[in-house]
Chains A and B, each alone.
Chain A
Amino acid sequence: MPTNQTPEDAELSRLLSQAEPPKSPEHLDEAILRYATENAPAADEAEEKTPWFPRPLTAAVATLSVAAVAVSISITSFNSGDLERGSSDFSTSQIASSDAFSPEALVLEEAVSGEDSAESETTSETTPETTRERQVAQNPANSPAPLGATVQLSRANDDIATPAPADDLREEDLREIAALGQALSTERNTSTQDAAPSSIQEEEQTSFAFSSAAQSSVAQELTTATAGQDENLGGRIEADSVLADDPALQSGVASSSPQLALRRAAPTEVRTSAIRLDSSAELVTNEDLPALLSLLEELFNSTFADGELQEEALEIETVSTEDERANQLQNRLTVISDEDELQQLNANYAELRENFADFALPATLEEAIRQLQRLVN
């Protein structure tokens, strides 16, 4: 009602309200209410239109849904990519650690790629000969592949789990090779002065050749450093090894890293055609060396007891050092050309050797002379 009504307006309003108007007829009410009930909006439809989340949260729900899908996709991509990258990293790291030894890398790749099926074979065939023969058969041009054997052995046996880095390995090998090569070169120069090299020298060179040819890349270094200086030796490099029977080289191997020791030991185990020296080829130790010299001096003195050799024998007695004694014995041997004298010396050596039974001396005069020549050189 307007508030600024005049008294006349208020009187008019009062009069209007007093004029009682008719009420809404009942039949009209029933008709309208019935019509309202029949045409009321369906409750089910209204409920169906109501979403399961409040309308104000529509944007938030949509954002969360998109984020969930994105996270799921990223997780899926990350897993597959990580697996692929992880496998490739493993392969490349393993190959990189041995990329300096291409034959071994091939063997390693084969071993890693066929790990599921081949590893059981490798572990079951723990005999190094089998593995070694298979590697040689697969790489005939690069027959010595001890690093591959090392890696496979390390995979089969957890004793050597992590191979040394390739750079460290190469430097260490090169140092050893350089030292051995220098010694060999000196020995070869001396031996080439003779008409024919002694068997001992050949064995040492062969041992060194094999030890240095243990790795293909190292073999190239060896070819440049030592083997290339001697064609005969180069031919021997491709021959087999007697490394395990060489105490000096064995000591050198023992001082090396376990990987290197294993690399050098493994080929000697797998070699099927290795040349082995008999027991008489063993070098005379420093303790037995004086006995050998005394035996030979006594041999010469007893065999050539009279004549002009007697004076030379007496002269031998006056020599003090072992080197001088060996040189004099060498000189006396070079002048013997008579076959009968040599046979006599050989027979007397066997008899006199029995007097030195406490010492590990060569069984024959030939071996004794060979070792004497080695001492002189």
Chain B
Amino acid sequence: MFEFLKANLSDESLMLRYQQGDSAAFEKLYKRHKDPLFAYLYRSHVDLPVIEEVAQEAWMAVINAAERYRPTAKFKTYLYAIAHRKLVDYWRKNKIEYLLDRVDEKGESVVEKVPGPSKLTSATVDLSMDLLLALESLSKEQQQAFLLKEEGFTRQEIAVMTGSNEETIKSRIRYATGHLRRILEVQYAD
């Protein structure tokens, strides 16, 4: 009976329990979000060792900040915001091109101009994989806006997580969606 109640606790309640020393609550919370977070990171950056490192840093940041945690927002938003920031930090630290405009003003893809693994493997994977490669052709800001939208966050939440305003997020999502659609249409049209 108690396990049933514990299983239905919200993310915020579990985090508060862990804040009071309940390690089992954190384990429950971790199991609830580890795979979606890892998938989000993988879609953002296909290099698994890097994703593991970023994921580990994100979760450790949550653990270290557990005593200061206040349930002012959804835990998922809190977790993904930390993961997004760790990812961006990694990109900047490793001097990975963080272009704002990997799609031109007309929405046309410029992925051909950027060398990368997506171009090398785009012809050999299935459509889902092609989608992931197409995401790599997007700018990181457009990519993150689109992926966070697919994770269920609203434009407002995405704006808070990325430090942008809501209209900018809306534009980024629109450009990202148009770019991905064109890529997939060209590939399957061929």
Residues in A lying within 8 Å of B, measured CB to CB:
1-2, 8-9, 12-13, 15-16, 18-25, 28-29, 31-33, 35-37, 39-43, 46
Contacts and interface: CB of A to CB of B under 8 A. Distances in A.
Q: When A and B form their complex, which 3 residue pairs have the shortest distance between CB atoms, in order from nearest?
A: A19-B128, A43-B21, A21-B39
Contacts, number: 95
A9 B30 CA distance: 30
Interface string B60-88: 10011011000000000000000000000
Interface string B152-190: 101000000000000000000000010011001000000
29 contacts: A2-B149, A12-B180, A15-B128, A15-B131, A16-B43, A16-B128, A16-B150, A19-B131, A21-B43, A23-B38, A24-B34, A24-B35, A24-B55, A29-B30, A32-B34, A32-B56, A32-B59, A32-B63, A33-B26, A35-B60, A35-B63, A36-B23, A36-B27, A36-B59, A36-B63, A40-B18, A40-B23, A41-B67, A46-B20
A13 B43 CA distance: 13
Contacts of A28: 52, 55-56
A37 B184 CA distance: 45
A218 to B, nearest CB: 91
A309 B15 CA distance: 148
A37 B27 CA distance: 9
Nearest to A20: B128
Contacts of A43: 20-22
B110 interface: no
B150 A13 contact: yes
B19 interface: yes
A15 B107 CA distance: 21
Interface in B110-165: 126-129, 131-132, 149-150, 152, 154
Q: Chain B CB within 10 Å — which of A1, A12, A35, A36 has the most? A: A36
B48 interface: yes
Contact of B21 (A16, A35, A40): A40
A25 B150 contact: no
A39 to B, nearest CB: 5
B90 interface: no
A1 to B, nearest CB: 6
A96 B93 CA distance: 102
B128 A8 contact: no
B137 to A, nearest CB: 14
B77 to A, nearest CB: 15
Given A1-B152, A12-B181, A36-B30, A42 B128 contact: no
Given A9-B177, A33-B30, A39 B128 contact: no
A16 B131 contact: yes
A221 B16 CA distance: 97
Contacts of B177: 8-9, 12
Contact of B38 (A21, A37, A40): A21
Contacts of B27: 33, 36
Contacts of B131: 12, 15-16, 19
Nearest to A46: B20
A252 B37 CA distance: 121
Contacts of B180: 12
Nearest to B42: A21
Contacts of A21: 38-39, 42-43
Contacts of A33: 23, 26-27, 30
